[in-house]
């Protein structure tokens, strides 16, 4: 195995080479080969489904493609030779309330009228009380490296896959309930999720989607009165909270850990089977007859993981638990736990307050991605020839360049820079260094640079621009400003409004800051879901200035109490 390269994140952008090393030919066309058959079922201009009786999911493909756990019983155990265990959700005890719903997901992906979510049927279906037509719920067996070490069998400990839904666009989505009770993989857990963590997952997956970051989606959030006991800060103080269930969706929930467990336990035939399935279903540009297909698959995952983490960094997102079982094979963001959006710029930002070593600090994410991809390669080695393993190692070495190339592009766009000039990396790195030293707000500094006119920039007039005011307190600010203004003036053929618009479309004005989530959670725990709804609504257009958001102070300097906030770890 190759050793861990040091991925120099952000602060050394100046040294970045901008030529991506392309070791293998990545295939491009991602045309959909599946699902033309389903198009005829739907007329695109026809209406949405008006009740759930017409809604149907299918588990056939997942069940028929793989051996299923031979035991059909819901107790915690060690499981072998299968990908899924059958497991029935445990209904949440009522009364149930619909705390949040994503119209975008319900109508745009699931094809039914959002009004249907007001029904008792929906409350039951979306909380595990009733099974959707066609559903044979499954819990997925996977393993993973946690905090650097192999942890053995993990698996869906409180999530149930309800089945796949093929929508009228021909897309296949896998529906899951999270917080829906025990499975064979629950270990010592109770299979439940509390309101607090469920609100965070619901809001953040939808917010990430609107930021343009690949992610799982959330359709609904249902809360109950069922008591759930949690030691929120692992300090021995157990609190009674309430259970909640999120209905969430992804094209696939397979993870790096899905392959690792098969490899680790010597189930090589099954490893091949799962790989073939994932490639056929989700990497349609790869020819299933290609003898190099596993290698090509690997190169896709390496590339896309590099792109994903670069995107996280560009919006200041720290995932918080980048274990191999929380890393999707499709390189989408999954498993929202103790994540956080960085406020003041700080590469040492750690969202999980119990992560004392800072293993998953924001500035380490690119490195952790590399670590996880190394583990993926280890998992693949039983199906790769010696020569292919060597080539895969070379592919992995290209990760750093792909990541840095993408980071460079993204931050150039954040600064509104067109074309390529020699000093671009320097301008970016210099700015980030000043932001770090002045603790300027990451999101709002970039946003205000998008909103400020060239004239005000030139005059250093930052009236009512609090983040730029902070930044401009740096001793070298004038030097940086001169380079930046000079660089912008080289693209003067373009008018100012065009530059501002370009920048505003990549620099959000609102992100889900912990204090915002916390405030909404406190109300939600008292059955007031208005702030969850408000945040959901505002964060669905994060690049657009909105009156309600301004009134709520979502782009203002964070309140004092926000500094004292600790992220809840147990979920
Ligand atoms: C790498 O992944 C990105 C993001 O999905 C994609 O846009 C790009 O085309 C990929 N590059 C290659 C060479 O496959
Ligand atoms: C779809 O429905 C619309 C309106 O009902 C109709 O005009 C159109 O011809 C239909 N298209 C197809 C392909 O059936
Ligand atoms: C936070 O970090 C600690 C220490 O590494 C770890 O034990 C804990 O599981 C983490 N929390 C979550 C939710 O992953
Ligand atoms: C600074 O900019 C604001 C907003 O455009 C303007 O109202 C104000 O007059 C400017 N101040 C100076 C000193 O130019
Ligand atoms: C948020 C979340 O689901 N995190 C999961 C990540 O993986 C660890 C195991 O490595 C699980 O315990 C977490 O629940």
Nearest CA to ligand 3 atom 2: 355
Residue of 325, 401, 424, 470 marked active site: 325
Q: What is the pTM of this model?
A: 0.90
Nearest CA-CA partner of 275 in 260, 264, 285, 266: 260
Nearest CA to ligand 4 atom 13: 461
d(C-alpha 283, C-alpha 175), whole Å: 20
Say which residue the tokens 């905090």 belong to.
Answer: 147
- Residue 78, CB half-sphere, CA atoms under 13 Å: how many? 4
Among this protein's residues, is 325 annotated catalytic? Answer: yes
Kindly state if the Cβ of 235 falls inside 6 Å of ligand 4.
no
DSSP class of residue 82 equals -
For residue 70, give both structure tokens.
């031979």
pLDDT at 6 over 80: no
DSSP class of residue 165 equals E
Ligand number, closest to the Cα atom of 214? 1
Nearest CA-CA partner of 276 in 332, 304, 268, 216: 268
Kindly state if the Cβ of 321 falls inside 6 Å of ligand 3.
yes
Kindly state if the Cβ of 354 falls inside 6 Å of ligand 3.
yes
Ligand 4 pocket test, pick from 463, 466, 472 with the greatest ligand atom count within 8 Å of Cβ, gives: 463
- From the CA of 192, how far away is ligand 5's center (Å)? 13
Which has the minimum average pLDDT: 165-179, 285-299, 346-360, 517-531?
346-360
Residue 551 exposed, middle or buried by CB count within 10 Å (0-12, 13-18, 19+): exposed
More confident residue, 553 or 15: 553
SS3 (DSSP) at 220: strand
Q: What are phi and psi of 39, to 5 degrees?
A: -60, -40
DSSP class of residue 99 equals E
- From the CA of 127, how far away is ligand 5's center (Å)? 21
Q: Rg of the chain's alpha carbons, rounded to an integer?
A: 24
Task: Write the Ramachandran bin of 179: left for phi over 0, alpha for psi from -120 to 50, otherwise beta.
Answer: left
Average of per-residue pLDDT across 185-214: 97
Residue 10 pLDDT level (bands cut at 50, 70, 90): very low
Kindly state if the Cβ of 144 falls inside 6 Å of ligand 3.
no
How many of the other CB atoms lie within 10 Å of CB of 238? 11
Ligand 5 pocket, CB under 6 A: 144, 146, 154, 321, 323, 325-326, 335-337
For residue 155, give both structure tokens.
């698996």
pLDDT at 142 over 80: yes
pLDDT, tens digit, for every residue of 429-445? 999 999 999 999 999 99
Nearest CA-CA partner of 192 in 245, 234, 233: 245
Residue 94 pLDDT level (bands cut at 50, 70, 90): confident
Ligand number, closest to the Cα atom of 46? 2
User: 403 vs 18, 307, 314, 383, CA distance in Å?
Assistant: 10, 6, 12, 27
Kindly state if the Cβ of 461 falls inside 6 Å of ligand 4.
yes
pLDDT at 535 over 60: yes
- First CA to last CA distance, the chain: 35
pLDDT value for 41: 45
- From the CA of 468, how far away is ligand 4's center (Å)? 14
Per-residue H/E/C for 459-526? HCCCCCCHHHHHHCCCCCHHHHHHHHHHHHHCCCCCCHHHHHHHHHCCCCCCCCCHHHHHHHHHHHCC
Ligand 3 pocket test, pick from 144, 145, 146, 147 with the greatest ligand atom count within 8 Å of Cβ, gives: 147
pLDDT value for 358: 87
Helix axes 514-524, 195-210, angle to 10 degrees: 130
Ligand number, closest to the Cα atom of 452? 4
- Contact indicator for 230, 196 with CB cutoff of 8 Å: no
pLDDT at 244 over 50: yes
């Amino acid at each position: 195995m190759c050793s861990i390269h040091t991925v120099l994140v952000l602060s050394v952008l100046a040294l970045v080479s901008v030529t991506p090393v392309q070791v293998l030919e990545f295939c491009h066309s991602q045309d959909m080969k599946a699902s033309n058959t389903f198009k005829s079922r739907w007329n695109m201009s026809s209406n949405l489904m008006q009740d759930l009786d017409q809604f149907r999911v299918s588990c056939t493909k997942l069940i028929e493609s793989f051996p299923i756990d031979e035991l059909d019983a819901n107790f915690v155990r060690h499981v072998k030779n299968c990908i899924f265990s059958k497991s029935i959700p445990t209904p949440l005890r009522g009364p149930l309330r619909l705390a949040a719903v994503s119209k975008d997901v319900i109508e745009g992906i699931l094809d039914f009228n959002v009004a249907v979510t007001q029904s008792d049927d929906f409350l039951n279906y979306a909380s595990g009380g009733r099974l959707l037509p066609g559903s044979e719920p499954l819990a997925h067996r996977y393993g993973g490296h946690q905090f650097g070490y192999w942890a053995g069998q993990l698996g869906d400990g409180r999530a149930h896959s309800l089945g796949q839904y093929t929508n009228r666009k021909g897309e296949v989505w896998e529906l899951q309930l999270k917080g829906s009770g025990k499975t064979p993989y629950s270990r010592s857990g109770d299979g439940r999720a509390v309101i607090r963590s469920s609100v965070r997952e619901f809001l953040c997956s939808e917010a990430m989607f609107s930021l343009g970051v690949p992610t799982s989606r959330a359709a609904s959030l249902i809360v109950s009165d069922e008591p759930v006991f949690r030691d929120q800060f692992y300090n021995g103080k157990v609190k009674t909270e309430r259970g909640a269930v999120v209905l969430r969706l992804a094209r696939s929930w397979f993870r790096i850990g899905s392959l690792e467990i098969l490899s680790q336990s010597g189930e090589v035939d099954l490893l091949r089977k799962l790989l073939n399935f994932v490639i056929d279903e989700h990497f349609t540009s790869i020819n299933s007859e290609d003898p190099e297909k596993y290698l090509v698959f690997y190169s896709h995952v390496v590339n896309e993981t590099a792109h994903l983490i670069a995107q996280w960094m560009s919006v200041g997102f720290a995932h918080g638990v980048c274990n191999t079982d929380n890393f999707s094979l499709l390189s989408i963001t999954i498993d929202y736990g103790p994540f956080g959006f960085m406020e003041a710029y700080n590469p040492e930002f750690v969202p999980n307050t119990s992560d004392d070593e800072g293993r998953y600090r924001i500035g380490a994410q690119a490195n952790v991605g590399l670590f996880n991809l190394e583990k993926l390669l280890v998992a693949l080695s039983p199906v790769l020839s010696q020569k292919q393993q060597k080539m895969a190692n070379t592919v992995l070495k290209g990760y750093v360049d792909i990541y840095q190339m993408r980071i460079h592009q993204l931050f150039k766009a954040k600064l509104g820079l067109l074309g390529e000039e020699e000093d671009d990396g320097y301008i970016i790195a210099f700015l980030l260094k000043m932001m770090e030293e002045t603790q300027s707000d990451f999101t709002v500094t970039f946003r205000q640079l998008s909103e400020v006119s060239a004239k005000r920039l030139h005059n250093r007039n930052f009236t009512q621009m609090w983040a730029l005011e902070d930044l401009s307190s740096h001793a070298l600010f004038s030097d940086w400003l001169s380079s930046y203004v000079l660089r912008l003036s080289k693209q003067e053929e373009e008018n100012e409004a065009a530059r501002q618009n370009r920048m505003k479309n990549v620099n959000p004005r609102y992100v889900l800051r912990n204090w915002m989530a916390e405030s909404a959670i406190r109300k939600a725990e008292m059955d007031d879901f208005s702030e969850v709804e408000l945040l959901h609504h505002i964060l669905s257009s994060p690049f657009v200035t909105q009156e309600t958001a301004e009134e709520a102070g979502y782009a203002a300097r964070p309140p004092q109490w926000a500094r004292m906030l600790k992220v809840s770890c147990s979920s």
